[in-house]
Every structure is written in structure tokens, then in C-alpha cells.
Amino acid sequence: MYDLIQKVSGELYIKALKNVPSDVLAAIKSAYENEGSENGKMVLRTILENIDVARQHDMLVCQDTGTPVYCVMVGEDVDLNFGKLYKAISKGVSEVTKKYNLRPNMVDPLTRVSRGDNVGNRVPIVHVEYDERLISSIRIVCVPKGSGSENQSFLRMLSPAEGLRGVVSFIIESVITGINKACPPVIVGVGIGGTFDECAWLAKKAATMRRIDVHHPDPKIRVLEEKLLKSINETGIGPMGLGGRITALAVNVEVADTHISQLPVAVNTQCWKGQRAEAIISDGFEVRYIL
Amino acid sequence: MVYVLETPLHEYDVRKLSVGDIVYLNGIIVGMRDATQRRIVDKGVDPPLDLRGHVVLHTAPNARKVGERWEKICIGTTTSARMEKYTPILIEKYGIRAVVGKGGLLEKSLRAMKEHGAVYLAIVGGAAALETLQIEEIEEVYWEDLFPECLWVFRVRNFGPLVVAMDSHGNNIYEEVISRAKMKQSEIVERLVADLTTLLER
């Protein structure tokens, strides 16, 4: 099974770089229809042309091969050894990096020295989560996280007294501060609650791992997502920050319970191409890719 | 206005451009970014070619070396903000005439552009497949030890569309867009709070 996970992890990495997920592509097409500014329209037309060219020539959509981030969701009946799982994913990333001559991005944070194959000290980043719906299956999501959007990440430990106003005010402020450098129209991921680290992970998961054509199941979070999207698109920042109507393709919000004395909020952005690929491995051998 | 320009550029090529104009480039452009510019500016190492009149592209490509030649795999553009520290020096001391990037630069670069005659050309970030096809060839690569952040010399054809986002007359589209957004900020927040308060009452 770990050989299969290795193969699938590598495949997901290259698929995420070459393909734009169907929900994201649909959102870009609709953004093109709805954009009013001349610059914005030109940007979105170029983006759509680029996606076509990448497909025709079997090329990467964007040059940033990202930080390899994986989330492995497992059902209750799956026996999984984390050490073997981690090694399998790591080998998959390294192999594909070499096979396709992918740009090596990962370096030591202080010496800036690269190992050359996009794995190393705590890379790939692998999250393991339990999902009761999966039963005997494993779902692997791969997000090669581009840096333009990752650098536009914000977290604040608010006081509960700041309440809803504090939360939305921080989100809008974050968007206005940084979104023009994140390749808009972006997907905005928001985490509310949890602890410092959990909140950041919720924002990352919201921005990168969840489809953008489904809302949060909680009706009040759904309304929050809709209102935030409308508001962000009123800022006028527009495609590539050059001015226009469509600044975000979607806003996804994830929440977790938090401590009585805390109110953490985090914002993570994902660039327009929403690079993401996922697969479900059923009963240890059957693989289905979802792109 | 739409301009097709041949590189290297002269001062009059860039002085005629205004924010909002569209540019396509033909000729040579020079790729460099963080590590390359740290070497030039922080370490004080002169670049191995005369940059006068050149167009700098903020990039670190996917490429491979076959024998003595470099083959392109995927070449795209990175966020320019990190190069704000270095750009004024590249303009003043080394005479570059244009920067191609995404997300824009800040006040010091804008001032240097005005004083010396240079522009910032915004590319569509992430549209790297298209960009790779518009780059005909990697002509030279210097400082291979910095791979992928070497100093790259590309030959390009119809490289664009590029939007003049900062011109040599002191205009900056990003700055204008952001200041308009900031003016609306509190109104947007107030409306959100009003819309959501009843929803979240317990």
C-alpha cells in the first residue's frame, strides 16, 4: 500500500501543477464574464489563454512549483503507519521533482541552501486527519503552495471583546494590505477559532483544500462566506491588483471552537489557479483521481 | 495605447509610456530575482553583463542543462515587492530601463523611475505557460551556483501583454487602486457588521 501511496503522491504533485481544478476554471470563466474593467478583462483573458496553452502543450500552468503540502484523510477502518506514510509521500515528491526537472524551491530558512528535490527538513508538510465518511478509504489532497499567495498570510489573536467587528475588520484589512501581490482573483481562506496553529491550518485548508463551488455546511458560516466575498469584490482591487470588479473568486471559512479568552482569526490566500489535486484510495488498492 | 518595443530600451522609449498603456517586447530580457540581486547589491558584485537599457524580469525558471545549453521547462514571473530594496540601485547605478513583474514596487523605485527614466511593466502572474512560449531561447546563464536564481538572458518575441503599471512621470496604478480601496474600507466593514450581527446573535 505504501508503494501505491508513493506513486499517487507524486502523480498528485505533477497533476496539481499542470491542471486547473474544474471548480476553479468555472469560477475564472464566470469572472471573465462579470469583470468590467479593461485591465481586468485583459488579465482574465490571458489567464484563460494560459490554461489552454498549458493543456495543449502539456506544460506547467505556473512556474512556482510550490511548497508540497499534503492532507491525508483516513477512515476508521484504515490501518496506517505514519512513518511509512511520510516516507512514501516524501519519496513521491522527490521522484517527481527529478523526473520533470521541477524547480527546487525548498531551502534552509537561514543559510538559504537547497537540497534540490523539494523535500528536506519537515518538507513535505503532511497533515493527517480523520474523516468518518471515508470508512475504509484514504483521501489524499496535494497542494503545491505557491509563494506569491502564501506570503500574503495574516493571523491575529483578537480579544473576544472585539467580536464580529474585529473579525471582519481584520479580514478586510488583510485583503487590502496584501491581496494585490497574491495573483488575484484569489481564493480567500479564513480560519476563525482554535489555537494559534489550528487557526492558521484552518485558513490554509479553507484557501487551498476545499472546493470553491461548495459552501460551508453551517448556514451562518455560509452567509459569512457570501457576504465576505461580496465585500472583498467591492474593494476594486481587481485582477492582478490593476483595478476591477473581481478581486476574489471565492471565500471559504473554516471554524473551530476556541478558548473562552481567545478569538484567533487567520487569512491565507490562494492564487487564481487554485493548484490542488486529490485522489481517493479505496480498500488499499483502487485509485480515483479528482481534478 | 499599445506599443511594441525592441530591447534594449532608450530613455525616450520609456518616457513616452503612461500608466495603462500596453506593451509587447521583442529582443533580449534579463531574468533575476532575490538571490541574484542580493549578490549585486548587498555583496557588491557587478553583474557579468552591462545592464544599461535592459529590461529586468523577476523570475527563477524551471529549466534544465543539457550539455552546455539550458533548456526552458517553465518560465514565469514572481512577486516584485521583495525586490523593492534593490530596484532603485539597479536603475540608478546600472541603468536598467524597465522591470517586468507582478504586484508592483514602492515609493523609492517610483522616484528612481521618474528621475532616471524607467518603467514597471505588469505581467499576468501565473500565466507561465504562455510566457514560456514567448521566450524563444535561453541565450546565456550567469552565476549558475545560484540556480534557479541565476542571472538569465532570454530572447523573447511578442512578450506580453504587459501593462504599464508605474511610469516615469510618478504614476503608480497599484497605489491608486489601494488608496481607493482604503477610502472604502470602513464603509465596507460597517455594512458587513450590520448585515451579520443579527445572524450571529445567540
CATH number at residue B162: 3.20.130.10
In a domain, A40, yes or no: no
pLDDT tens-place string over residues A173-186: 999 999 999 999 99
- Spell out a b/e string for A127-141, using b for 16 or more CB atoms within 10 Å of the CB, else e: eeeeeeebeebbbbb
Contact B59 A54 (CB under 8 A): no
Amino acid type, A250: A
Residues A133, A121: one domain? yes
Residues A261 and A279 in one domain: no
Instruction: Say which residue the cell 501565473 belongs to.
Output: B126
CA nearest A114: which of A127, A126, A130, A103? A103
Interface of A with B in 138-197 (CB under 8 A): 146-148, 151, 164-165, 168-169, 172-173, 176, 180-183
Are residues A142 and A10 part of one domain? yes
Does some domain include residue A55? no
- Residue of chain B nearest A106, judged by CA positions: B148
Residues A89 and A203 in one domain: no
CA pseudo-torsion sign A130, A133, A134, A140: negative
Per-residue pLDDT reduced to its tens digit, A73-115: 999 999 999 999 999 999 999 999 999 999 999 999 999 999 8
- Residues in chain A, overall count: 291
Residues A8 and A268: their CA atoms lie apart, in Å, by 26
The three-class DSSP label of residue A95 is helix
Q: Which of residues 85-124 of A touch B (CB under 8 A)?
A: 100-104, 112
Omega prior to A185 cis, within 30 of 0: yes
Smallest CA–CA distance, residue A198 to chain B, in Å, is: 22
Best residue in B166, B192, B202 for a mutation probing chain A (most A CBs within 10 Å): B192
What CATH number is associated with residue A104? 3.30.360
Question: Would you call B189 and A271 a contact, using CB atoms and an 8 Å cutoff?
Answer: no
Residue B199: domain span:
173-202
pLDDT of residue B47: 96
Determine the distance in angstroms separating the CA of A71 from the nearest CA of chain B, rounded to an integer: 24
Each residue's pLDDT tens digit, A248-291:
999 999 999 999 999 999 999 999 999 999 999 998 789 999 98
Are B103 and B194 part of one and the same domain?
A: no
Type and span of the H or E element at A73: strand A67-74
pTM above 0.90, yes or no: yes
Residue A32 lies in a domain: no
Residues B124 and B184 placed together within one structural domain of the fold: no
Indicate if B99 and B178 belong to the same structural domain: no
* ipTM of the shown complex: 0.93
- Contacting residues of A for B77, CB less than 8 Å apart: 63
Number of structural domains in chain A = 2
Q: What mean pLDDT is predicted for residues A34-56?
A: 97
CA A54 to chain centre: 20
In a domain, A26, yes or no: no
Sheet of A67-74: strands edge to edge? A125-130, A67-74, A137-145, A277-282, A286-290
Phi/psi at B191 (5° precision)? -65, -40
Is residue A39 domain-resident? Answer: no
| Average pLDDT rounded to a whole number, residues A60-76 | 96
Same-domain pairing of B92 and B22:
yes
Task: Tell whether A6 and A137 lie within a shared domain.
Answer: yes
Tell the residue number behind the cell numbers 478569538, with chain if given. Answer: A263
Query: With an 8 Å Cβ cutoff, is B2 touching chain A?
Result: no
Residues A125 and A233 in one domain: no
**Both A142 and A7 in a single domain?**
yes
Cβ contacts of B188 on chain A, cutoff 8 Å? 172, 231, 234-235
| CA gap B25, B163 in Å, rounded | 12
Considering only the beta carbons, identify the residue of B126, B165, B178 that sits closest to A62.
Answer: B126
- Note whether A9 and A96 are same-domain residues: yes
Domain co-membership, B121 together with B161: yes
* Statement to judge: residues B160 and B178 lie in one domain: no
Determine the distance in angstroms separating the CA of B118 from the nearest CA of chain A, rounded to an integer.
Answer: 19
Asked if A9 and A123 sit in the same domain, the reply is yes
Sequence length of chain B is: 202
Say yes or no: B167 and B182 in one domain.
no
C-alpha cell at A189: 481562506
Q: Which amino acid is at A184?
A: P
Helix (H, G, I), strand (E, B) or coil at B136: strand
> Can the peptide bond before residue B47 be classed as cis, meaning omega within 30 degrees of 0?
no
CB within 8 Å of B11: residues ≥ 6 apart = B97, B117
Which residue, A70, A74, A52, A69, is CA-closest to A61?
A52
Query: B15: distance to nearest CA of chain A, Å?
Result: 21
Q: In this predicted structure, what is the pLDDT of residue A285?
A: 86
For chain A, give the mean pLDDT: 96
pLDDT recorded at residue B199? 78
Question: A172 and A130, same structural domain?
Answer: no
Based on the fold, state whether residues A210 and A120 are members of the same structural domain.
Answer: no
A251: left (phi over 0), alpha (psi -120 to 50) or beta: beta
Q: Please tell me whether residues A126 and A199 are part of one structural domain.
A: no
Q: β-strand B55-58 against A286-290: which pairing, if any?
A: unpaired
Quote the pLDDT of residue B198.
82
Determine the structural domain holding residue A126 and report its residue range: 2-19+61-146+275-290
Is A251 among the domain residues?
yes
Q: Are residues B71 and B150 in the same domain?
A: yes
Cell of A201: 491550518
Same domain for B131 and B187, yes or no, is: no
Considering only CB atoms, A220 lies closest to which of B102, B128, B200, namely: B200
Residues B126, B46 share a domain = yes
Q: Count of CB atoms within 10 A of residue B92's CB? A: 14
Secondary-structure breakdown of chain B: helix, strand, coil percentages, each rounded to the nearest 5: 35, 35, 30
Q: What percent of chain A has pLDDT over 70?
A: 100
Mutual orientation of helices A82-99 and A2-18 as an angle, nearest 10°? 40
Whether the CB-CB separation of A276 and A214 falls below 8 Å is answered with no
Residue A6 belongs to a domain: yes
What span, in angstroms and rounded, lies between the C-alpha atoms of A174 and A195? 19
Q: Is there a single domain that holds both residue B49 and residue B94? A: yes
A102–chain B nearest CA distance, Å: 6
Query: What total of structural domains would you count in chain B?
Result: 2
pLDDT at residue number B202: 60
Residues of chain B with confidence (pLDDT) below 70: 202
* Strand duo B2-6 + B22-32: pairing: parallel
**B178 and B153 within one domain:** no
Give CA–CA dist A45/A49, Å, rounded: 6
Query: Quick one: B191 exposed, middle or buried, by C-beta within 10 A (0-12, 13-18, 19+)?
Result: middle
Q: What is the pLDDT of residues A135-172, one digit of tens each?
A: 999 999 999 999 999 999 999 999 999 999 999 999 99
Helix ranges, A58-187 (H): 82-99, 147-150, 163-178
Q: Is residue A138 part of a domain?
A: yes
B127 contacts in chain A (CB < 8 Å): 46-47, 49-50, 62
Residue A289 C-alpha from the chain's centroid: 17
